Structure 1
Amino acid sequence: MTLPQTPALSRRGLLGGAGLLGGGLLLQRWAHAAPTDPRLPAITGLLDDYVRSGKLAGAVATLGWGDAPPEVVARGTGTRGDARPLDENALFRIYSMTKPITGMAAMILIDEGKLGLDQPIADFLPAYAHMNVLVDPAGPVDKVVPATAPITVRQLLTHTAGLGYTIIQTGPIRDAYAAAGIMPYRATRVPLPGFGEVHTAPSLAAFADNLARLPLVYQPGTRWSYSVALDLMGRIIELASGQEFSAFLKARFFDPLGMDSTTFQLAPADVPRFTTNYVVADGRLLPIDGATNSVYLDPPAFPFGGAGLISSPRDYDRFLAMLLGGGVFAGKRVMSQRAVDMGTSNLLPPGASTAGTWIAGHGFGAGGRVGLGDSAGTYGWSGAAGTIGFISKVGGVRGGFFAQFMPSTAYPFDTAFPQAVRSDVRARLLAQHKVAA
């Protein structure tokens, strides 16, 4: 999720360093050697630079491999002026890093036979059986043609269903989405110039119903276009599982993984661990959602499967470790190997175009970008407020970066963090080689 009407909010190059992590040989060698030096100089230097200079109030990075606990680098505080230092238990708005969790929840149901990857979603939501498509993505909403194919589960998981997003779309369809409450995200209680107002449908069922009445932006299966698809996936998960979406996530992920701090609403008791979100403007950090009076203290209109979760570096690392472990965490199976392998593979429909998009040259799996070629085996996504999470199955490595600033493109962490990971991996390998010699 990124904020509406804000310039340069692209995730282009997300995990641009994923290719650095997928180089195979380097990480294969590291994965089979026990780490001997706990220091992470490049990651530490990156965080020190941004926190000491005042560009960030604070940040936390995690780096783990295999089933070992992650190494953690934490600098600064969650709110400028606070005395409490950040650690791996601090709470962050992870925004679109919610999408891989929702995507993997769907993979569980596919593995259990309750959903089909290429099943039309109209089997669960009949209102989607006969959709219309805009003649011009930015044109009038009454200029439409019939959809030439049904929307499928695969297309929801990979942003190829033809759905829109108010943070992406321009023209009348954006206004139509806003009027219908198709705005499944929140950022602040305070109206900000240029950010627009957010009015969200009152329930997940109403969200799905309202969305079905609007035309698609593209023909289903033809183009990758960032969208509200993972939010709609939450409704499909409810109908396929017979559980409320948030209850399903808790039962299948949060409880078995011990993700005790991952939630759609901030508990008052957790305020001391929560961070303040800032907007970067003219080189300054301006608070837009304070830790003590955050909009996340209010219940959301519904659990946003695309951008709604709060989590901690510790918690999200457990989710990543489970994926890296083929569905197993701490000796307990949470997902099947088959479900993980499928969800972290390239699920883009044949012929779907990615030209000119944020994932050009890459694949897309269940809610996250998938590396191809030299970066094969990588999977992950980022969040609008400066968070990043990824795995490299080839090297058995997982990484997380957590800060709170908007727009996420204000600082180049999408490339700088993976580059720091690569540097520290190389340093570790060299040190091990010298010891072995």
Structure 2
Amino acid sequence: MSQTAQLERKTTFIATRRQMFGWALGGAALAATSSPARAFWQSTERFAGLRSYINDYVSSRRLPGALAAFAFGQGPVQTVAAGTLAMESDTKVDLNSLWRIYSMTKPITGMAVMQLIEQGRLALDQPLYDLLPRFRTMRVLTSADAPIDQTVPAERAITMRHLLTHTAGLGYSIVQRGPIKDYYEQHGIVPGQVSRLSIPGLDRGRPAPSLEAFADALADAPLVYQPGTRWSYSISLDLLGRVIEVVSGMPFDTYLKQQIFEPLGMTSTGFRVPQTNIPRLSTNYAPVGGILLPIDPASTSIYLDQPAFPFGGAGLVSSAHDYDRFLAMLMNEGTLDGERVLAPETARLAMSNLLPEGIDTRGTFADGAGFGAGGRVSLPSSPDGEGTFGWGGAAGTIALVNSRRRLRFAGYANYMPSEAYDFQRRVAEVFLADLRAMVGA
């Protein structure tokens, strides 16, 4: 099989989220946030398993570099890192390296929506058509792969809750198959970018020229499922970017900068990488036939250009330093270093299970968990109970916060598809195994 054929076969824009969230935050592991673990935290032997795991990826040349960032409570962020930004680079990865975080953008967009809900400018169960009237009368496909003209009326309105939790009935060109996938790609309902290159399996059509045009095209498309009836990974967080624009009266990317990034000191996070930051940007790779193909080199990255519109579901580039600031704010229930981004009750609500009653996520990317404002939520029935909120990205990144145990963790690498390796699925598990070892669990 040719390398091109292998790439076409193996490359998928979104990882299997059931695999991605294979980490189970077991009670014994999280109990390691107690004092014995804090003492071990200062040991020169700390996190031997995690170091070995990351070093093995680099020494075997499966990745040029990777990094894990984590912290307990109010303590400073710690890292375990190895390797460089690219195979041909001498620049080591560190807290300030820049990564394509793709769907780790979704929780940030979700928290922006929660700010507007807190301010009374939106309501959780408010119909979408209040803000975007073209969504008032929607049609729904008779089946997920039915012809575009085979529809029935929507039985209920799409709400903010539906959009935050992937229960609005919307599709995703990276998930759907058949006529609706083709329709999305032909009409610019393509909220994401990968490379300037034409790559089999990654070419998804040209995005609409603006968030407004994207939302209008989506309003004219049929829904894949009846709103509020099932969990289905979708473009809903991208659509919420347009909602934020309409409600706030400012461009979506400007809103995020002013209301989240600047208050939290996330100075390296955005939808475009400035020329001055190219030396900090990693290269994105596709593992094919035992070698790494550079599909988005830093020096010619598609992220150096202004995107068609700010992709609220998959568009951000960030650093481990910056994203840890976001996680720390969540863990501290909305406040960091005296800056209040969310009220405590709003932060708790955002990281709680917001799914409509009766939604069962078993067998989906959320796989039996709940879902909050753009991220997966552990439930009382989860191995460690409630308290964990997080999500990952299509290029191998993952991040989570456990507010009950006062723990935050993120793993960074850039390769696609993320299921090509077990890094995204296992890096948190390896970290938690080290915590268990600290207390002899």
Alignment correspondent of 1:204: 211
Alignment correspondent of 1:29: 34
1:40-92 Cα shifts (integer Å, max 9, x gaps): 21211110010111010101110111121111112101110211111110000
Code of the residue aligned with 2:350 in structure 1: it is G
Return the match for 1:20 from 22, 25, 28: 25
Q: Could you say what secondary structure the match of 1:288 adopts? A: strand
Question: For the residues of structure 1 that align with 2:299 and 2:66, how far apart are their CA atoms?
Answer: 18
Residue 81 of structure 1 pairs with residue 88 of structure 2: yes
Alignment correspondent of 1:179: 186
Residue 153 of structure 1 pairs with residue 163 of structure 2: no
Q: Could you say what secondary structure the match of 1:12 adopts? A: helix
Question: For the residues of structure 2 that align with 1:412 and 1:180, how far apart are their CA atoms?
Answer: 34
Code of the residue aligned with 2:159 in structure 1: it is T
Q: Could you say what secondary structure the match of 1:142 adopts? A: coil
Code of the residue aligned with 2:238 in structure 1: it is D
Question: For the residues of structure 1 that align with 2:145 and 2:169, how far apart are their CA atoms?
Answer: 13
Residue 257 of structure 1 pairs with residue 264 of structure 2: yes
Offset at 1:175?
0.6
Mapped contact 1:31–1:396 kept (Cα < 8 A) = no
Question: For the residues of structure 1 that align with 2:169 and 2:362, how far apart are their CA atoms?
Answer: 15
Alignment correspondent of 2:423: 413
Matches within 5 A, 1:357-372: 357-372=364-379
Alignment correspondent of 2:111: 104
Mapped contact 1:92–1:403 kept (Cα < 8 A) = yes
Residue 123 of structure 1 pairs with residue 130 of structure 2: yes
Alignment correspondent of 1:317: 324
Question: For the residues of structure 1 that align with 2:254 and 2:26, how far apart are their CA atoms?
Answer: 34
Alignment correspondent of 2:4: none
Offset at 1:37?
2.6
Question: For the residues of structure 2 that align with 1:24 and 1:346, how far apart are their CA atoms?
Answer: 23
Question: For the residues of structure 1 that align with 2:29 and 2:349, how far apart are their CA atoms?
Answer: 20
Structure 1 residues 211 and 30, CA gap change in structure 2 (3 angstroms): farther
Question: For the residues of structure 1 that align with 2:15 and 2:261, how far apart are their CA atoms?
Answer: 29
Question: For the residues of structure 1 that align with 2:316 and 2:269, how far apart are their CA atoms?
Answer: 7
Question: For the residues of structure 2 that align with 1:5 and 1:179, how far apart are their CA atoms?
Answer: 23
Q: Could you say what secondary structure the match of 2:182 adopts? A: helix
Return the match for 1:132 from 139, 155, 159: 139
Q: How many residues in Structure 1 have an aligned counterpart in Structure 2?
A: 428
TM-score normalized by structure 2?
A: 0.93
TM-score normalized by structure 1?
A: 0.94
Question: For the residues of structure 2 that align with 1:353 and 1:425, how far apart are their CA atoms?
Answer: 32
1:115-165 Cα shifts (integer Å, max 9, x gaps): 100000100000001100000110101000000000000000000000000
Residue 400 of structure 1 pairs with residue 405 of structure 2: no
Code of the residue aligned with 1:226 in structure 2: it is Y
CA-based RMSD of the aligned residues comes to: 1.9
Mapped contact 2:109–2:312 kept (Cα < 8 A) = yes
Question: For the residues of structure 2 that align with 1:179 and 1:420, how far apart are their CA atoms?
Answer: 42
Code of the residue aligned with 2:342 in structure 1: it is M
Structure 1 residues 32 and 110, CA gap change in structure 2 (3 angstroms): farther
1:256-312 Cα shifts (integer Å, max 9, x gaps): 111000010010000000010000112211100000000111100111000000000
1:352-395 Cα shifts (integer Å, max 9, x gaps): 23242111210010000011122421110000000001011221
Offset at 1:33?
4.9
Alignment correspondent of 2:313: 306
Question: For the residues of structure 2 that align with 1:207 and 1:147, how far apart are their CA atoms?
Answer: 20
Alignment correspondent of 1:237: 244
Offset at 1:196?
2.7
Question: For the residues of structure 2 that align with 1:269 and 1:28, how far apart are their CA atoms?
Answer: 39
1:208-249 Cα shifts (integer Å, max 9, x gaps): 001000000000000100100000001111112222111111
Give 5+ residue unaligned stretches, structure 2.
1-7
Question: For the residues of structure 2 that align with 1:380 and 1:371, how far apart are their CA atoms?
Answer: 9
Alignment correspondent of 2:276: 269
Mapped contact 1:183–1:198 kept (Cα < 8 A) = yes
After alignment, is 135-144 or 351-360 more displaced?
A: 351-360
Code of the residue aligned with 2:314 in structure 1: it is A
Question: For the residues of structure 1 that align with 2:226 and 2:270, how far apart are their CA atoms?
Answer: 34
Mapped contact 1:258–1:315 kept (Cα < 8 A) = yes
Give 5+ residue unaligned stretches, structure 1.
none
Offset at 1:14?
2.7
Alignment correspondent of 2:120: 113
